[in-house]
Amino acid sequence: MSKSRALLLPLLLAGCALPGPRRAAPESAAVVPPPAWRNALPVGGPVQAGWWQGFGDPVLTALVERALANNLDIQTAAVRVEEARAAEALARAQLLPQVGGAVPETQGQQISALGTTARSAAVQPGLTLSYDLDLFGRLRQATRAARAQLLATAAAADTVRLAVAATTAQSYITLRALDHRLAVARDTLAARTEALRIAQRRFEAGYTSRLEYRQAQAEYASTAQLVPAAELAITRAENALALLTGDVPRAIERGVTLERLATPAIPDGLPADLLRRRPDLFQAEQTLVAADRSLDSQRAAMLPNLSLTGAANLVLSTALAQPEVVFSLGASILGPIFDGGRLRAQERGATARRDQAAFAYRRTALTAFREVEDALAGVRRTGEQAQALSEQVAASRGALQNATNRYRAGYSSYIEQLDAQRTLLTAELSLAQARADRLNSYVALYQAMGGGWTRADVAAVER
C-alpha cells in the first residue's frame, strides 16, 4: 500500500461517522408578542432611572442600595460569573498552540576499544509544540458556546440583583403596612378600652344587662390579640430585611408612613420592546445560543481532526565534543472509525438540549408578557380598591360616631355600636393592605420591565 493511500484510508473510514443534516430548532418554540404589545403601554409620568427612589423614602433607597452591595445571593452570583469567565478563557486557550518544556538528565557508561570504561552524563533541555488546526470548527464553536454561557451567567447575576432590589422594596413596603396595622390595632384597642369601661359602669349601675358587658370584654380581648400578632409579624419582617441587606437580625429604621409613600413614575408610552432588556430573557437567549454552538461543536467532533506536533532538544553530553540540536516536526490526522454510536448519541443529546433551551426561551418570554400584564392590572385594580376602601373607612368612621352617640343616649343597643366598630376595623385593615398591594404592584411592574431605565433606553427601543 502506498503512503498516499495509507493517509487517505482513515479519512475514508471516517465517513461512516459523518454527521447527517442538521435539525433546525422546533418552530413551536418561536416567540410572537401579543398583538396589543405592538403599542406602547398605557401609563404616564417622567422617566426615573433609580426606580426605588420614586417612592420618596430615603430609608427605602438606603436599604435597597445596601442590599445591592451586601446581599449574599448577589455575591454568590458574582462568583459564578468569575467561574464562567474562567471557563471561557479555558475554551479560548484551546485555540492557541500548546508549548511545553523539559530538562531530562541521563547517566550512562562508555566502553572504549582498549577495554576501558568511562561514565558519561547528558542533559537535553527542549521544547515541545502541539497545535490543533481545528479544520471543522470544533474548538471555535466550543469557544463561542463558552462565551454565550458567560453572557448567560452574567445575565443571571443581573436577574439576582433585580430580584434582590425588588424584594427589598416590597419587604419594606410590607413592613410599613404592618406598622400601620399595628397603629390601627392600638387605636382600636384604646377605643375598646373606653367602651369596656363604659359598659362596665352601665352594668354596675343596672342600666344594661351582663350580656353587653361580656360582649365588650370579648371585643376588647379580640382586639388585644391583634397587637402581639402585628408585633410578631413586624419582627419577622425586620429580620427578613436584615438578611436581604447581609446583616444579622436587627431593628430596621423607618422612613415615611405607608400613606405618604409615593407611587413611582412610569414614562408615557413605555415601549413594550423594553422587555428585551430583562436579564432573565437575555439569559434564556444566550443559553439557547450556547446550546446551539455546543451542538455545532459536537457535530464537528464527528469529523477528522488534524494536529501538528513538534519538538526541539539541545543535547549537552560529556560524550560529545560540542552540543547537538535535535528537532522533529510531524502531523497527525485522527478521525472516528467505530465508536459504537457514542458520537451519534452525543449529537442527539446536544440537539435535545438545544431544543430544551429553545422551549425555555419561549417560556421565559411568555412569562415576561404575563408578569407585565399582571403588574399593570395590579396597579389599576388595587388603586381602584384603595379608593373604594378609603370611602368605606370614612363612612364607617361616621357610622361609628353616630352609633356611639345613640348608644350613650339610650336610643340603641350596644350591638349596634359593636357592629360599627367591627366594620371600621375591618375597613382600616383592608385599606392598609390595599395600599401596600398597590405599591408592591409598582415594584412588580418595574421588575417585570427589567428594572430602571433612562430616556436614552426608551429612545433606543423606539428607534
Q: Where are the domains of the chain?
A: 36-106+118-462
pLDDT band with cut points at 50, 70 and 90 for residue 202: confident
- Tell which residue, 463, 432, 356, 446, has the closest CA to residue 45: 446
pLDDT band with cut points at 50, 70 and 90 for residue 10: very low
Mean pLDDT for the stretch of residues 322-344 = 73
Q: Is the pLDDT of residue 11 over 60?
A: no
Q: How far is CA 316 from the centre of its chain?
A: 61
Distances (CA, A) of 221 to 182, 217, 218, 283, 382: 15, 6, 5, 54, 32
Q: For residue 332, what is the DSSP state?
A: E
Q: Quote the pLDDT of residue 404.
A: 86
- Is 425 exposed, middle or buried, given 0-12, 13-18 or 19+ CB atoms closer than 10 A? buried
Cell numbers at 139, concatenated: 474548538
User: Which CATH fold topology does 36-106+118-462 show?
Assistant: Outer membrane efflux proteins (OEP) (1.20.1600)
Cell numbers at 61, concatenated: 433607597
Query: What percentage of residues in the chain have a pLDDT greater than 70?
Result: 78
Asked if 450 and 279 touch (Cβ cutoff 8 Å), the reply is yes
* Of the ranges 236-240, 263-267, 344-348, 351-355, the best mean pLDDT one: 236-240
Q: Is the pLDDT of residue 17 over 60?
A: no
Q: Quote the pLDDT of residue 54.
A: 86
Residue 132, beta-bridge partner list: 307
Q: Is the pLDDT of residue 316 over 70?
A: no
Q: Quote the pLDDT of residue 4.
A: 40
- Give the other-Cβ count within 10 Å of 66's Cβ: 16
State the average pLDDT for the chain.
82
Q: Is the pLDDT of residue 37 over 70?
A: no
Q: Quote the pLDDT of residue 8.
A: 38
Q: Is the pLDDT of residue 380 over 80?
A: yes
In terms of DSSP H, where are the helices of 269-341? 279-300
Query: What percentage of residues in the chain have a pLDDT greater than 90?
Result: 40
Residue bearing cell 361580656: 214
Mean pLDDT for the stretch of residues 184-195 = 91
Residue 329, beta-bridge partner list: 310
Mean pLDDT for the stretch of residues 17-28 = 74
262-300, pLDDT tens digit by residue? Answer: 987 776 666 666 777 788 988 998 999 999 888 888 888
436-453, pLDDT tens digit by residue? Answer: 999 999 999 888 888 766
Better pLDDT: 122 or 251: 251
Better pLDDT: 114 or 131: 131
Pairing of strands 324-334, 305-317: antiparallel
Cell numbers at 164, concatenated: 434582590
What's the rounded Cα separation, in Å, for the pair 107 and 54? Answer: 80
Of the listed ranges 13-17, 46-50, 259-263, the least confidently predicted one is 13-17
pLDDT band with cut points at 50, 70 and 90 for residue 167: very high
HSE-CB at 18 with a 13 A cutoff on CA atoms is 9
Output the pTM of the full model: 0.81
- Tell which residue, 204, 330, 267, 254, has the closest CA to residue 43: 267
Residues sharing a CB contact under 8 Å with residue 429, sequence separation 6 or more, in sequence order: 181, 184
Q: Is the pLDDT of residue 308 over 60?
A: yes
Mean pLDDT for the stretch of residues 222-230 = 94
- Give the other-Cβ count within 10 Å of 112's Cβ: 8
Better pLDDT: 98 or 80: 80
Q: Is the pLDDT of residue 432 over 60?
A: yes
pLDDT band with cut points at 50, 70 and 90 for residue 418: confident
Of the listed ranges 35-44, 134-143, 384-393, 423-432, the least confidently predicted one is 35-44
Q: Quote the pLDDT of residue 59.
A: 95
